[in-house]
Amino acid sequence: MADKKAQIVIKKITVVSGGAHGGAWKVAFADFMTAMMAFFLVMWLLATQSEPQKKAISDYFSTPSVIEYQFSNYGVELTLEKLFLDLINEPIKVFQAFVTPVDRTPNVMAMGMRKVVMAHMADQLGQHTSNVNISADSVTFEIPDTQLFDIGTANPNKLFVSVMERVKGVTAGLEDSDVVIASIVYDQSVPGADHKLARNIAEARLDMVQDKVKNSLENPGVGVTGHSMARFDDRSVRDKKGGGGGLIKIEIKQKKVTVDGKKPRPLADGVFGAKFSDADRDKSVYDNFVNQLSKKKRNKAGEKQNEK
C-alpha cells in the first residue's frame, strides 16, 4: 500500500475594511450623543434650581466627609481605632459616613470612643473650657465666666458669641440625651459680696446660656434643664485679677433608652490604645489634644503665609 502524502491546507483570511459603510462609528456616536444628552440635562436641571439648592449641591461635593475631617483633625491612629470599632458595631453607619458631608453637626454621644469625643471637644472649645470629664454615658465640662461674661455682672463680654458658637458644635447635634446647665457665681465677685445679688446674676446668666443651647438643638428628644447658685469661695478672691468670678458647667448625659426603644451604645475607652478612666488622666489627654490641634493650626497658617 502506497504511503499517502500529508495534505497541506493553507487558509487565507482577507479583512475588508468597512470604510464609510462600516458600523463601528455608530457605537461611538451613540455614546457621544448619550453623554451630551446627560450633560445638557444636568445643565438644564441646574438652571431651574434656586440659589439655596445650588449652594447645597455645591457644598455636598466640595465639603469633605466626616471621616476625612477626622483624619485631618484627630490623626490617623485615632481615626482608625474609631473606624475599627464602628465596623464591628455599626458597619452601615460607617459607609454612610464616607459620603456624609462634614457640615452637619455630629452627635457627640454617638462617636463611639472617649478619645474621639475628647479630640472633638479640644477642636471645638480648646482653651475656652476646663475640667473636661468623659465617662461611658456622659460628658461634663466647665467654662470660666470670664469667657462669657463681665466679672460680677450678667453682661455678655466680647467672647460670648464666639464661645457659644463653639458650645453649639458640641450640643447642637445631640440625640437621645439630656443637657444640664449649672450657673455658679461666687459672692466675692459681685459688689459688696452680696449673696442675693450673686444669685440673681447667676440666674440671669443661666437664662442666656440655656436659651442659646435650646435654640441650637437640631434634633427632638433632647432635654435642657438648669440650675443656678451663689456661693462663697476663697478662690474667687485670689483669682479676681485674672478671672474666676464663677463658671458655667454643662453636663451631657445619654438617656437610658433611645427614641426607637434601643439601649444606647456607651463610649468605649479604646481599641488599640491604652485605657484611661480617672479625671487626671482625662485632663492630660485633653490638654494633649489641645496642644496638637493648636500646633496643626499654626502649621497650616504658616503654610498659607508662605504661599502668599
How confident is the model over 220-273, as pLDDT tens digits? 889 999 999 988 876 544 444 445 689 999 999 999 888 778 888 788 776 554
pLDDT at 299: 63
In tens, the pLDDT along 54-68 reads 666 665 555 555 555
Q: What is the CA radius of gyration of the chain?
A: 31
Residue the block writes with cell 446627560: 38
Nearest in space to 126 (alpha carbons), one of 84, 178, 167 = 167
Amino acid sitting at position 25: W
pTM of the model: 0.63
pLDDT at 62: 54
- Per the document, the length of the chain is 308
Residue 181 — very low, low, confident or very high, per pLDDT cuts 50/70/90? very high
Q: Inform me whether the pLDDT recorded for 132 exceeds 60.
A: yes
Quick one: average pLDDT of 186-192?
Answer: 88
Residue 24 — very low, low, confident or very high, per pLDDT cuts 50/70/90? confident
pLDDT at 38: 85
- Per the rule left: phi > 0, alpha: psi between -120 and 50, beta: everything else, 86 is alpha
| Least confident residue range of 207-216, 220-229, 288-297 | 288-297
pLDDT at 203: 95
**How many whole angstroms separate alpha carbon 24 and alpha carbon 259?**
60
pLDDT at 242: 43
Q: How many CB atoms lie within 10 A of CB 216?
A: 19
pLDDT at 162: 92
The segment with the largest mean pLDDT, out of 68-77, 96-105, 216-225, is 216-225
**How many whole angstroms separate alpha carbon 198 and alpha carbon 152?**
8
